[in-house]
Copies of this chain bind each other. A is one copy, B any other.
Amino acid sequence: MLRNRLIDGVRRIKPILCGGQSLRSLANGATSKLTTIEVDDRSGIATLSMNLPPVNTLTMELMHDLIDSINQIESNKSRGLILTSSNDKVFSAGLDLNEMLNTDVERLRLFWTRFQDLWLALHLCGLPTAAAINGHSPAAGCVLATACEYRVMLPNLFIGIHATRFSFVISKWMMNSYQSVLPRRIVERALNQGKLFASQEALDVGLVDEIACSKEEALSKCAAFIATFDKTNPVARCLTKRMCREPDVRELLQDRAADLKECVDYVTTPLFQEGLCAHLEGLKKRK
């Protein structure tokens, strides 16, 4: 299995080595509706911005565009990927919870499968990845951030997986994403509490790596992190990253249907539907 992984790794990274498209053409041509890609001609680093007002909710469409953009950046000669938001208040508010409310099961299956796809695309991305977290990053917003290799955050924001506060039980691979960054003891407690960490707390426990004063500084710190790989061989780096992350994705890749079924079974329980309803009512009142 490891060997298959290696060979698969070499195959997946091939486009990076052979891609003939120039960076500039990527920068000009690669704008979908809900995401923007900008490539710095000097550094070769691609900045991928989520751009769905008001709060970058991960809808079916935004997730589609994110996957598409990640694949596009990966198959060109980019030196790294920085994920950020074009909205300075919210990085991403997380999954579109309306997709989980009284939903058609087939639609829910598509929605969850897309989220699995998005996490896999980012978590296993062959390029160096970093998140410039320039706005709040709750729930699936936090999962996207932890799928990157480095996190720089602006002050006075919050980040964390607060699923238990709206009756949701996350999947094991989301826990794995958290645990790839935080110690086990902190992960369990934070998940059980549905804890949202303030920027400084997040720095203290290691959930983010640096605090930056502005989005520009955050992007620049992310670029500096990506530059730490300059002396490495990109294929060896990519295969090493995937070896480190293989335990996180193993169970999901071996049986994606099981994760999907578990999610659908839970989401369709009255317990969750009632909890989610109350949560959405609460959000409306706060507005």
Residues on A lying within 8 angstroms of B by beta carbon are 2-3, 6-7, 10, 128, 149-150, 163-170, 172, 175, 179-185, 187-189, 191-194, 206, 228-229, 231-233, 235-237, 239-241, 243-245, 258-259, 261-262, 265-266, 269, 271-272, 275
Contact = CB atoms under 8 A, between A and B. Distances in A.
A236 B164 contact: yes
A6 B169 contact: yes
A184 to B, nearest CB: 6
A188 B192 contact: no
Nearest to A246: B172
Contact of A185 (B6, B181, B189): B181
Given A149-B192, A265-B3, A170 B206 contact: no
A2 B172 contact: yes
Contacts of A181: 185
Contact of A240 (B2, B192, B271): B192
B3 A163 contact: no
Contacts of A232: 164-165, 192-194
